[in-house]
Amino acid sequence: MRDNITELWFSWFYKNWEKNSPGDLIEKGLSPSQIAESFVNENHNDFIELAKKFDEENYHALNQFMKLSESELHILKYFLKLIKLKNL
């Protein structure tokens, strides 16, 4: 595994994600899946080139990060339900 190669992913992703203005797209009524699909379509070639730089160990590191992100999403959903219940 090349040192800090996963940082390349995060650097690339957040730079391009911000250019995509996801908050504006949500305000325009696009769903999260539509926003993601648009981002993937716009950056398809970059995704392919970036993927070529990653090995199996990098894959596992990013997969672990994805699992943690999914856990955080579930926690946020739980918290939002609590807020909603409080306001009933």
Locate the domains of the chain by residue range. 5-86
pLDDT digit string, tens, across residues 34-50: 999 999 999 999 999 99
Split at pLDDT 50, 70, 90, the class of 2 is: low
Considering the entire predicted model, what is its pTM?
0.78
pLDDT tens, residue by residue, 53-75: 999 999 999 999 999 999 999 99
- C-alpha 71/C-alpha 81 separation (Å) is 16
Instruction: Name every residue whose Cβ is closer than 8 Å to that of residue 53 and which is 6 or more positions away in sequence.
Output: 2, 5, 8
* Number of CB atoms found within 10 A of residue 83's CB: 8
Q: Are 38 and 83 in contact (CB under 8 A)?
A: no
- The residue among 84, 47, 62 whose CA lies nearest residue 1 is 62
Q: What is the pLDDT of residue 20?
A: 86
